Amino acid sequence: MNKFLTIRRPDDWHLHLRDDEMLNAVTPHSADFGRAIIMPNLVPPVVTGGQARDYRARIRAALPEGAALKPLMTLYLTETTDPADVVAAHAEGLIAAVKLYPAGATTNSASGVTDFDKVRPVLEAMAEAGVPLCVHGEVTDPAVDIFDREAVFIERVLDPVRRATPGLRVVMEHITTADGIAYVRENAADAAMGGTITTHHLVINRNAILAGGIRPHYYCLPVAKRETHRLALREAAMSGQGPFFLGTDSAPHPDRAKLQPCGCAGCFTAPNTMSILAQVFEEDGKLETLEAFASLNGPAFYRLPPNEDRVTLRRQDEPIRYPETITAGEETVTVFDPGFDLHWQMEPA
């Protein structure tokens, strides 16, 4: 028997589309989202308004006819970012946020920030102009255990930066710990903070990566944590509460680059994200909060209206089909496997 759920068109508040052949291959898989915050960690990174404009044009060209997706651009914060360029790019509606990567924290983050004093003038200008800062919340200190890097980041970096820059609105991205959830909750008054949660972190814990054999396709950053943390993420995502919204962090890499002695981080979830989300929300009896998580809380934080149009999710008894891999030129990219059959499919309303 079919079951239907109609919601406002969802948005993706954290998405990697890459460039060139990969851009052309993956962008159609996000075309049914209303808007997406586009990550700037290209090589070289998107650091100026001019580069963001050019990248947006390449994304638009990669979208299929009639696609809903509107790319919302971000600038990659470096120690030489010009505050005036950021403010101007935001004022003209070109960028929606600025992205902070601690130097070396993740894929293509070599140009990130080491000395936070150097970016203070930009952060102050952003606070003044209401430009949100999206943060990759992990410390890079090799002395800190990788499973503790998010919690330590809150204490050593996030909280001090926020205290030093009153009025700065911050999104803690791809939260993976109960500590992150608690911090966002405590600081969410007046939309001072938001937090994105990925699809895959609602599904996997660290056993998926390491138990019974190493599974590179489940390796992403921040790395999945223990089960108690996954349960905290599910509770937050399904609470319907304002500060928490969907950012898939769909991060495609060629299989060739993931299946290496030193493979890179990222899960490619764009093709089946809404199917997985509907399924996990249903599993926990929380389908009624999916719209808040995927379609309402994000725009409220970014001070944008929710999408006017709707999509329908249809549940069928037979498992849906989706590709195990997609191709990008000569490369294959593996689609995230949630480890269970999927029954929900998103359709135009």
Interface contacts to Zn ion, rule CB under 5 A: 249
Cα dihedral sign for 165, 170, 176, 179? positive
Q: How far is the CB of 189 from Zn ion (least distance, A)?
A: 27
CB distance 162 to 132 below 8 Å: no
Q: How far is the CB of 277 from ligand NCD (least distance, A)?
A: 18
CA distance 179 to 158: 12
Query: 138 or 249, CB closer to Zn ion?
Result: 249
Query: 208 or 313, CB closer to ligand NCD?
Result: 208
Q: How far is the CB of 242 from Zn ion (least distance, A)?
A: 22
Number of Cβ atoms within 10 Å of the Cβ of 16: 25
Query: 43 or 57, CB closer to ligand NCD?
Result: 43
CA distance 339 to 169: 36
By a kind-dependent CB cut-off of 5 to 8 A, residue 165 interacts, out of Zn ion, ligand NCD, none, with none
By a kind-dependent CB cut-off of 5 to 8 A, residue 220 interacts, out of ligand NCD, Zn ion, none, with ligand NCD
Point out which residues bind ligand NCD (CB under 6 A): 16, 41, 106-107, 136, 220-221, 249, 251, 265-266
Q: Which residues are designated catalytic? A: 249
Q: How far is the CB of 213 from Zn ion (least distance, A)?
A: 25
By a kind-dependent CB cut-off of 5 to 8 A, residue 206 interacts, out of Zn ion, ligand NCD, none, with none
CB distance 98 to 134 below 8 Å: yes
Query: 83 or 266, CB closer to Zn ion?
Result: 266
Q: How far is the CB of 225 from ligand NCD (least distance, A)?
A: 14
> Angle at which helices 120-129 and 83-91 pack, to 10 degrees?
20
Q: How far is CA 87 from CA 90, 121, 123, 153, 338, in A?
A: 5, 12, 11, 26, 40
By a kind-dependent CB cut-off of 5 to 8 A, residue 221 interacts, out of ligand NCD, Zn ion, none, with ligand NCD
Query: 139 or 221, CB closer to ligand NCD?
Result: 221
One-letter amino acid of 176: T
Q: Which residue is nearest to Zn ion (CB)?
A: 249
